[in-house]
């Protein structure tokens, strides 16, 4: 896949190329969903069972993670469009009054949303996202007093529920947990989200982030989440309340199941954890990945504990907790346990200790700011530490002091906990954090940013162990035995007032506790088997998910225990039988969301639980979504299962029936021509991998591929004949490595075929001989190193294996550290096993095997533009006719047929079809973000513009940049410009729920693109986006980004992408709407531009130059304009082409100089003359002179009115009294004067006498002597502008012309006897020597009235003799005798 900065567009092509194509891609994505194997599920939304979905404002949805590592996201059918991220900014930079003093620890919000048992008419629904709420808004919304105050209103719905409870023998006690400060949300498999049905006293919890763990086993979904709104109709065949939104996957993820999902911000973001340790955060609107990382297991040893060092092992990451601080940062805690199939004991050393119940916790911080729309957000590692206890027993809760508490059952069955505090990072750049050992913070700690190692060992309570700078973990607190007779399988907590209710279970037991500050009170044990997860409904009831049912229990009131003489066990209220399911999860309120396949169609069910009912009769199970078609029905024709695009005219297709096919892109979308070639024989399974290799000896190109049955095969690319085939793997082929380098050794000319489980087959291309097989390990294979006769394989468990390729024997096993030392000695070739698309290719495949992803083509727009422009950057171009203009035109039309949206405007459709020759193609577009591709459901053509602002930005950029290229063809330029204008400014008026392009996303591309067409398109869209903003939106957006400007950041943070983005957005706003911005903002913008211009190491100088040229007249009022110009002069003249990347800074700076010179000529000329007369260095003067030459060539009119000042400055630079300076600038001065004389007819130079004459706009002519670098005299004869002047060949005469006067004056300027007595005075000439000049009149009529620009080309003198001259004025020739 392309890098994070590349503009890449996924295009979903017809999966069955030869069948009738249906509009949209819904059915294929649903087929992929039905065929998938779910491993995790999470739901979010509103817990309002009595309200129909159509009446609820806001979105709810479900996300399902699968064994292949992909995620399917479903949204409410009536959900409002996602919020516009154009103005929705994080409050990280807010100057609002803080909730707590700045010296206090960072405060954690409540980790749950306790729902009420019945909906209340007065239930409050907060719509603010944790990412959008400023501190002042939180305080104004709810205070501590109001949040903790007792209920002071009557809830009539609850009165009915209380009455029902009394009639059923239950007490009428209050059963709302709104007074609880925190409530731990724990359940199996998927990560839960808090419900949104809240009472007034629940508001604080709603503004807090929910916290809930993910599943401990892959058989269950990740921890529960807020309840779905059931549909009004319970029938499965009725209208669904959810619609499938998108399919998100990581290219070439392989066997990496999703183990946990967690939703944030009312369903706006979702975090995804995979078993390998891949952690990512996505937008639920379109699946865009805003941050991702890979967790490398590297725990810190616990000082004083038994676990002094960690043995090599394979960790499986299964659970995820998320907590949000009041400062709007998010901390994620991922938990892992050793892989159950990993042979761990063979690597254990003596004294290592028992690691059977060992778990691992890794903490990461996510700060989502305004740059998140451009995928700039980072997941910062905070530390790792081991925990001795079952993975599923680990829990996290926010205490009453707003700090975090990590609890778990230790290996002996005791409940232990540690406090976690996180300190703010020191005020230095992120790059300096690892080296920093001190902080400039105020001395008081901040509770949400600093971790320390956790251990279940007995450590003195006065000590704290520091894992990393920002993590602080308190001393372990032991609360005693849990009381289960079997090993603990899980713990789930719920906080209410000063008591934490805890539920623990084993294989056959379930136990409820009341956990107080210093004690643990146990209720009697219940006999319950096959418990998979537990969810607290409130402090009085809980739901228990078993293998085939859900049991609801009532927890006795502590006061009831006193009356009965002892604690009473929980009482079962009801048992709800569940149909078979693939994955299920408990949601807040104890409800169940599950998914399964029935009759070939995947379905998602929601089962609501009423804890006040004693009978399951009131439980309702509804199908909230189901697929439309049977995914397992026999297909009419084989579909595409794999794709390898080599060029627009050469795409290799693997099919589900095992045969290989060759088509052009135009033929694939039925919008072009080209042959279709098929292989002569097929593989026994669906082809899942393809690659091109070349025989280094014969030069023959061969197609290598693998099928889902483990077979591999080779075909000739030219004839498509099957050359060889083997079935040697138990898992499909994952990667093909060609060993073509001559230094490889004995394996030169061979191919390494790597399967998904890490098995390697070595095959010689000559004769297609199978050489040998290298077996797989229990851990995934990560890297392959080959040196001479040694094959070094590195695995994910921290071990490496060394094989002898000569004897084909295994030598030894070693640690990764030893292996890295061996590789660093040199002589090794290295490859990663992840199958990554070639970034040099303009076209690539998604590299994923599902039906929708297999037929998805990735268009790298910058690479395509380079290929179309004939740049050698694309070395993989197969077609030798790529430089043919007709071929380019055909290709650009095919690409535009995929990108353009037909059906929005009939007029634009006609222009595209008839004017540009672009026909609609049966394709839909997706979304690409770093490491992620999202195939988005698009039922119609217009829906592509309603996904998200980020998707609209990418789509519009791709279309406009391609149209800009098409506009280079003269006969298409006009129509192309019309379509460009439509997509840049008008499309939003015709598309309902249109999502305008995101300004942060556009700024992101502007900062990192290297293609001229894309930069031009970005400027157009930024200008249109700013113009689209209202005055209020403009002000809010500028205020939100102002605090991130480089001028307001420390020096080490100014060059970050975030600061550059802020400058780009604020700068474009200021250029277009500066009157709306306060002086302080304009000053900050101008200072930021100046900082970037003067910083020689700044990577964002291109942005500063662009803004400087666009708004110099604005910036000059707030900074030293002369210094800004001088910085541009330096960049325009000293930047070397070979030392920079595209865009060329020198070219851009020269363009900016031209722009400023034309718009602010007086200041420009003043600066130019000053730098020539009084340069900082001689080199600087020389550089400025080079800039003058550039201006003379490009913008001569800019210099025309100031030509006398410029020439005088150049002449004075040749002062013979300063010989060193004269020698340094002599060549440049000579060259510049030569250009001036050739360009401007008002200037002439006589070589022999070294005289220089310069005409002025006032009519005078100034005479200079270059030998002495002085002004000799001024000839004043004309009363109006001098048009031209010229020396005679002998230098004794000077003729001057004024077209406005229709006069030619002849001056005698040669040396004479009188000049020795009157130095500086011109010789006289005329009647009796009394007149200083001789006047020659003429009349050419209207030809004399021409512009200054025309005179530069159409007026000149030509001397035929020393006393005869011809004046040429356009087509008129006049001859004069002097």
Please determine, for residue 1028, whether its predicted confidence score (pLDDT) is greater than 70: yes
d(CA 690, CA 677): 16
Instruction: Please write the tens of the pLDDT for every residue from 1303-1330.
Output: 999 998 876 545 545 555 566 655 555 5
pLDDT of residue 450: 33
> Of 736-750, 754-768, 1015-1029, which gets the smallest average pLDDT?
736-750
pLDDT of residue 1280: 92
Distances (CA, A) of 1102 to 4, 371, 1008: 20, 19, 10
pLDDT of residue 1122: 84
pLDDT of residue 310: 65
Q: What are phi and psi of 789, to 5 degrees?
A: -100, 20
Q: What are phi and psi of 1030, to 5 degrees?
A: -75, 170
Q: How large a percentage of the chain has pLDDT more than 70?
A: 75
Please determine, for residue 355, whether its predicted confidence score (pLDDT) is greater than 80: no
Distances (CA, A) of 751 to 247, 587, 719, 847, 949: 34, 50, 21, 20, 45
pLDDT-derived band at 1181, boundaries 50, 70, 90: confident
Average pLDDT over residues 1270-1289: 92
Instruction: Please write the tens of the pLDDT for every residue from 1037-1090.
Output: 999 899 999 999 998 888 888 899 999 999 999 999 999 999 999 999 999 999
Q: How large a percentage of the chain has pLDDT more than 90?
A: 35
Distances (CA, A) of 1284 to 318, 1165, 1211, 1259, 1325: 85, 22, 20, 10, 20
Please determine, for residue 231, whether its predicted confidence score (pLDDT) is greater than 70: no
d(CA 53, CA 51): 6
Please determine, for residue 326, whether its predicted confidence score (pLDDT) is greater than 90: no
On average, the pLDDT of the chain sits at 78
Please determine, for residue 897, whether its predicted confidence score (pLDDT) is greater than 60: yes
Q: What are phi and psi of 820, to 5 degrees?
A: -65, -40
Instruction: Please write the tens of the pLDDT for every residue from 359-369.
Output: 999 999 987 75
pLDDT of residue 188: 37
pLDDT-derived band at 325, boundaries 50, 70, 90: confident
Instruction: Please write the tens of the pLDDT for every residue from 1132-1153.
Output: 877 554 444 446 788 888 888 8
Higher pLDDT, 221 or 1130: 1130
Higher pLDDT, 946 or 106: 946
Residue 1010 near residue 862, CB atoms below 8 Å? yes
Q: What are phi and psi of 804, to 5 degrees?
A: -95, 115
d(CA 1021, CA 997): 8
Provide, for the chain, the percentages of residues in helix, strand and coil under a 3-state DSSP scheme, each rounded to the nearest 5.
Answer: 30, 30, 45
Instruction: Please write the tens of the pLDDT for every residue from 660-712.
Output: 999 888 888 875 556 788 888 889 999 999 999 988 888 889 999 999 999 99
pLDDT of residue 110: 56
Please determine, for residue 113, whether its predicted confidence score (pLDDT) is greater than 60: no
pLDDT-derived band at 1222, boundaries 50, 70, 90: confident
Residue 961 near residue 1017, CB atoms below 8 Å? yes
pLDDT of residue 1177: 81
Instruction: Please write the tens of the pLDDT for every residue from 183-208.
Output: 333 333 443 333 333 333 332 333 23
Distances (CA, A) of 1249 to 75, 799, 1138, 1199, 1365: 86, 85, 42, 26, 20
Among 354-358, 909-913, 1185-1189, which range has the highest average pLDDT? 909-913
Residue 125: exposed, middle, or buried by beta-carbon count in 10 A (0-12, 13-18, 19+)? Answer: middle
Higher pLDDT, 100 or 291: 291
SS3 of 788-801: the string is CCEEEEEECCCEEE
Look at strands 269-274 and 258-264 and give their pairing. Answer: antiparallel
Average pLDDT over residues 933-954: 88
Please determine, for residue 144, whether its predicted confidence score (pLDDT) is greater than 60: no
The four Cα atoms 395, 399, 403, 406 give a dihedral, to 10 degrees, of -20
Residue 408 near residue 389, CB atoms below 8 Å? yes
Tell me which residue has tokens 């230095």: 428
Identify each DSSP E strand in 708-797 by its residue range: 711-716, 722-727, 733-739, 750-755, 760-764, 769-774, 781-787, 790-795
Q: How far apart are the first and last CA of the chain?
A: 77
Please determine, for residue 448, whether its predicted confidence score (pLDDT) is greater than 50: no
d(CA 784, CA 752): 10
């Amino acid at each position: 896949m392309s890098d994070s900065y590349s503009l890449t567009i996924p295009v979903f092509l017809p999966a069955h190329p030869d069948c009738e194509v249906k509009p949209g891609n819904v059915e294929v994505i649903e087929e992929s969903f039905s065929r998938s194997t779910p491993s995790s599920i999470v739901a979010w939304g509103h817990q309002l069972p009595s309200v129909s979905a159509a009446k609820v404002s806001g979105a709810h949805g479900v996300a399902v993670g699968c064994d292949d590592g992909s995620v399917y996201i479903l949204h409410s059918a009536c959900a409002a469009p996602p919020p516009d991220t154009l103005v929705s900014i994080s409050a990280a930079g807010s100057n609002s009054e803080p909730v707590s003093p700045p010296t206090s620890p960072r405060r954690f919000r409540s980790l749950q949303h306790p729902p009420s048992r019945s909906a209340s008419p007065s239930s409050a629904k907060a719509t603010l996202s944790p990412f959008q709420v400023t501190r002042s808004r939180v305080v104004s919304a709810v205070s501590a007093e109001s949040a903790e105050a007792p209920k002071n209103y009557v809830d009539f719905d609850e009165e009915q529920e209380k009455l029902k409870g009394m009639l059923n023998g239950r007490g009428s006690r209050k059963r709302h947990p709104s007074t609880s400060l925190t409530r731990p949300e724990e359940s199996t498999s998927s990560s839960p989200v808090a419900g949104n049905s809240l009472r007034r006293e629940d508001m604080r919890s709603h503004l807090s982030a929910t916290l809930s763990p993910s599943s401990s086993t892959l058989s269950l979904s990740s921890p529960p989440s807020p309840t779905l709104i059931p549909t009004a109709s319970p029938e499965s065949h009725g209208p669904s309340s959810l619609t499938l939104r998108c399919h998100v996957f990581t290219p070439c993820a392989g066997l990496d199941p999703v183990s946990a999902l967690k939703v944030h911000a009312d369903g706006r973001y979702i975090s995804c954890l995979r078993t390998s340790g891949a952690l990512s955060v996505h937008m639920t609107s379109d699946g865009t990945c805003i941050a991702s990382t890979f967790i490398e297991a590297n725990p810190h040893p616990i000082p004083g504990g038994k676990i002094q060092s960690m043995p090599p092992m394979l960790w499986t990451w299964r659970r995820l907790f998320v907590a949000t601080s009041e400062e709007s940062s998010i901390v994620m805690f991922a938990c892992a346990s050793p892989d159950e199939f990993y042979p761990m004991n063979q690597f254990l050393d003596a004294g290592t200790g028992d690691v059977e119940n060992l778990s691992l916790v890794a903490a990461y911080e996510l700060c989502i700011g305004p740059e998140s729309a451009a995928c700039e957000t980072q997941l910062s590692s905070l530390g790792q530490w081991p925990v001795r206890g079952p993975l599923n027993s680990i829990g996290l809760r926010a205490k009453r002091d707003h700090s975090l508490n990590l609890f778990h059952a230790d290996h002996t069955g005791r409940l232990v906990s540690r406090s976690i505090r996180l300190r703010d990072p020191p005020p230095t750049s992120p790059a300096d954090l690892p080296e920093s050992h001190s902080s400039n913070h105020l001395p008081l700690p901040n509770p949400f940013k600093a971790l320390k190692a956790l251990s279940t060992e007995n450590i003195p309570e006065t000590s704290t162990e520091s894992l990393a700078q920002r993590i602080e973990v308190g001393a372990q607190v032991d609360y005693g035995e849990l009381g289960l007779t079997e090993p603990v399988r899980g713990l789930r907590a719920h906080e209410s007032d000063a008591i934490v209710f805890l539920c623990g279970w084993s294989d056959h037991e379930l136990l409820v506790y009341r956990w107080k500050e210093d004690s643990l009170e146990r209720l009697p044990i219940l006999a319950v088997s096959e418990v998979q997860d537990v969810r607290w409904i409130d402090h009085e009831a809980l739901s228990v998910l078993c293998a085939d049912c859900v049991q609801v229990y009532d927890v006795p009131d502590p006061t009831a225990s006193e009356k009965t003489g002892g604690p009473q066990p929980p009482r079962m209220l009801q048992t709800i039988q569940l149909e078979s399911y693939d994955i299920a999860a408990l949601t807040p309120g104890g409800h169940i969301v599950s998914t399964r396949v029935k009759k070939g169609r995947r379905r998602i069910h929601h089962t609501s639980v009423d804890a006040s009912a004693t009978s399951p009769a009131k439980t309702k199970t509804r199908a909230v979504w189901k697929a439309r078609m049977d995914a397992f029905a026999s297909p009419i024709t084989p579909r595409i299962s794999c794709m390898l695009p080599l060029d627009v005219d050469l795409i290799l297709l693997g099919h589900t029936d095992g045969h290989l096919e060759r088509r052009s892109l135009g033929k694939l979308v039925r919008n072009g021509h080209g042959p279709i070639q098929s292989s002569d024989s097929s593989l026994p399974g669906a082809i899942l991998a393809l690659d091109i290799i070349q025989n280094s000896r014969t030069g023959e190109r061969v197609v290598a591929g693998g099928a889902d049955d483990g077979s591999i095969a080779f075909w000739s690319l030219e004839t498509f004949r099957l050359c060889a085939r083997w079935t040697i793997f138990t898992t499909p082929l994952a990667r093909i490595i060609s060993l073509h380098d001559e230094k490889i050794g004995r394996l030169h000319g061979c191919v390494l075929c790597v399967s998904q489980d890490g098995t390697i087959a070595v095959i010689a291309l000559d004769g297609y001989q199978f050489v040998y097989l290298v077996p797989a390990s229990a851990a995934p294979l990560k890297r392959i190193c080959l040196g001479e006769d040694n094959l070094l394989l590195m695995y994910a468990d921290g071990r490496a294996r060394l094989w002898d390729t000569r004897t084909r024997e295994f030598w030894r096993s070693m640690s990764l550290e030893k292996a890295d030392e061996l590789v660093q000695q040199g002589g090794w070739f290295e490859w990663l096993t992840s199958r990554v698309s070639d970034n040099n290719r303009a076209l690539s495949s998604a590299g994923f095997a599902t039906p929708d992803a297999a037929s998805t083509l990735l268009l790298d727009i910058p690479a395509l533009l380079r290929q179309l422009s004939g740049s050698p950057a694309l070395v993989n171009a197969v077609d030798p006719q790529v430089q043919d203009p007709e071929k380019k035109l055909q290709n650009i039309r095919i690409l535009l047929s995929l990108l353009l949206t037909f059906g929005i405007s009939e007029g634009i459709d006609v222009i595209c079809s008839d004017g540009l020759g672009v026909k609609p193609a049966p394709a839909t577009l997706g979304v690409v973000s770093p490491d992620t591709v999202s195939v988005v459901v698009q039922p119609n053509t217009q829906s592509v513009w309603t996904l998200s602002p980020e998707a609209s930005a990418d789509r519009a950029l791709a279309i406009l940049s391609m149209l800009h290229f098409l506009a280079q063809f003269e006969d298409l330029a006009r129509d192309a410009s019309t379509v460009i204008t439509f997509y840049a400014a008008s499309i939003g008026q015709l598309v309902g729920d249109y999502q305008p392009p995101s300004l942060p996303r556009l700024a992101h591309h502007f900062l990192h693109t290297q293609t001229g067409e894309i930069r031009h398109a970005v400027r157009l869209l930024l200008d249109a986006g700013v113009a689209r903003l209202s005055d209020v939106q403009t002000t809010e957006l500028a205020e939100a980004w102002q605090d991130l400007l480089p001028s307001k950041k420390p020096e080490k943070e100014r060059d970050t992408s975030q600061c550059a983005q802020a400058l780009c957005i604020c700068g474009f706003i200021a250029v277009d709407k500066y009157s709306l911005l306060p002086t302080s903002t304009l000053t900050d913008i101008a200072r930021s531009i100046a900082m970037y211009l003067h910083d020689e190491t700044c990577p964002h100088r291109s942005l500063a130059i662009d803004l400087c040229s666009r708004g110099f007249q604005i910036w000059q009022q707030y900074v030293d304009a002369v210094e800004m110009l001088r910085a541009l002069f330096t960049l325009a003249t000293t930047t070397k082409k070979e030392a920079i990347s595209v865009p060329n800074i020198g070219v851009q700076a020269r363009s900016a100089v031209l722009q400023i010179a034309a718009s602010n000529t007086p200041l420009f000329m003043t600066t130019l003359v000053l730098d020539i007369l009084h340069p900082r260095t001689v080199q600087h003067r020389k550089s400025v002179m080079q800039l003058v030459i550039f201006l003379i060539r490009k913008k001569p009119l800019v210099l025309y009115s100031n030509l006398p000042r410029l020439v005088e400055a150049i002449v004075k630079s040749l002062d013979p009294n300063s010989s060193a300076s004269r020698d340094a600038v002599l060549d440049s001065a000579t060259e510049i004067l030569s250009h001036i004389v050739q360009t401007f007819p008002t200037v002439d130079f006589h070589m022999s006498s070294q005289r220089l004459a310069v005409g002025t706009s006032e009519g005078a002519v100034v005479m200079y002597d270059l030998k002495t670098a002085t002004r000799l005299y001024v000839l004043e004869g004309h009363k109006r502008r001098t048009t031209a002047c010229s020396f005679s060949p002998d230098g004794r005469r000077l003729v001057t012309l004024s077209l406005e006067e229709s006069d030619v004056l002849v001056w005698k300027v040669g040396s004479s006897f009188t000049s020795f007595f009157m130095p500086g005075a011109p010789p006289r000439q005329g009647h009796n020597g009394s007149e200083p000049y001789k006047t020659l009149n003429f009349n050419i009529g209207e030809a004399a009235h021409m512009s200054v620009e025309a005179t530069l080309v159409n007026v000149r003198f030509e001397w035929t003799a020393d006393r005869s001259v011809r004046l040429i004025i356009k087509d008129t020739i006049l001859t004069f005798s002097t």
